[in-house]
């Protein structure tokens, strides 16, 4: 016998779901990291590569272009010799900082919970080993 389908009590989302829009903005690999490292001050491409050592130049370039096209990051050419480019957060980009901070807090809590859950298992295994006379 199939279960009866319950009616949703959540308000229907607007035609373009704001959550979906935000997640599309932050959803790409390394995108939150790029935003995170631009929170304090503008950074040059090489500085961002040093900040995020595991990201490839191709991926970083793609993320910066995507964030620029979405209005999250600005790209400014600095008149120097040799010329360089700096990336900075726009007002929209700065609005993402509390969101990323909240994600970091939840991630830290999940990490702590996982560490607490694995400790008793290790102790139990050690006790069983001692009890067996190993």
User: Residue 60 is part of a domain; what is its CATH number?
Assistant: 1.10.10.10
User: Residue written as tokens 């090489």?
Assistant: 46
**Residue 51 forms part of a structural domain:** yes
Q: How far apart are CA 75 and CA 60, in angstroms?
A: 13
Per-residue pLDDT tens for 53-94? Answer: 999 999 999 999 999 999 999 999 988 888 899 999 999 999
**Residue 11 forms part of a structural domain:** no
Domain count, the chain: 1
Q: How far apart are CA 68 and CA 120, in angstroms?
A: 47
| pLDDT score for 19 | 83
pTM: 0.72
| pLDDT score for 42 | 96
| pLDDT score for 128 | 59
- Which of 3-12, 85-94, 124-133 is modeled with the greatest confidence? 85-94
Per-residue pLDDT tens for 13-54? Answer: 777 888 888 888 888 889 999 999 999 999 999 999 999 999
Is the pLDDT at 120 greater than 90? The verdict is: no
**CA diameter of the chain:** 75
Burial of 60 by CB count in 10 Å (0-12 exposed, 13-18 middle, 19+ buried)?
Answer: buried
**Residue 12 forms part of a structural domain:** no
Range of 80's domain?
18-131
């Amino acid at each position: 016998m199939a279960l009866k389908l319950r009616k949703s009590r959540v308000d229907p989302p607007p035609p373009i779901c704001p959550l979906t829009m935000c997640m599309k903005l932050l959803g790409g690999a390394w995108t939150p990291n790029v935003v995170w490292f631009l929170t304090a001050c503008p950074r040059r491409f090489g500085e961002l590569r040093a900040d995020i050592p595991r990201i490839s130049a191709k991926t970083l370039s793609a993320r910066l272009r995507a964030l620029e096209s979405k209005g999250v990051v600005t790209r400014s050419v600095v008149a120097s010799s040799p010329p360089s480019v700096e990336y900075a957060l726009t007002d929209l980009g700065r609005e993402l900082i509390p969101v990323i901070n909240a994600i970091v807090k939840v991630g830290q809590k999940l990490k702590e919970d996982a560490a607490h859950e694995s400790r008793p298992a290790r102790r139990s295994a050690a006790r069983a080993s001692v009890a067996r006379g190993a």
